[in-house]
Amino acid sequence: MNRSGFILSILLLFASACATRYPAYYTPGKVITLERLPNRGLNTMSEIKGFVYSAYDSTFLDHVAISDNNGFIFSTDKEGVFSEIIKPGVYSFTFRSLGHDAFETKKIEFKPNQTLILVIKLGTSISH
C-alpha cells in the first residue's frame, strides 16, 4: 500500500469512528490537499479521491454519480469511496445520488502529481 492509500485508509477509519462521520476539524465541501509530489517526469497525472455521505443519516452513499465539466463520469463504490486518475487541469465536479440534492464543486486546479481528497456531504430536500 502506498503512502497516499495508507493516509486515505487512516482518514476513512477515523471518519467512521466519528459520530458525525467526518473529522471534527473538517468543513464539508472543502478541498484538502493530501500531498504534492515533485514532478520528476515519471508521472504527470493527478488524482481525486474521497468519500460521500448523507446529511440525513450520516451513512456513506454508494453509486453516487460523479461527473466532471468535460462529461467524464465515475461513481462511488459500495462504501461511498471514489478514486480517479485525471489529467492535470481545471475541473468542477457534480455529485448526484437518488434522493439527495446534487452538489457541484467550485473549479479546482489539478497540478501534475497532485492528489486531492474531497469529503462530500449530500443534503436532501425530501422530508422523512
Sheet with 73-75, side-by-side order of all strands: 73-75, 65-68, 93-96, 103-104
Half-sphere exposure of 11 (CA within 13 A, CB side): 19
CA distance 105 to 107: 6
> Domain residue spans in the chain?
3-122
The cell numbers describing 3, all together, are 503512502
Give me 65's grid cell. Answer: 454519480
Q: Which CATH class is domain 3-122?
A: mainly beta
pLDDT at 107 over 50: yes
List pLDDT tens digits, range 41-52: 556 899 999 999
State the Cα–Cα distance between residues 29 and 6, nearest whole angstrom.
22
| pLDDT tens digits for range 80-100 | 999 999 999 999 999 999 889
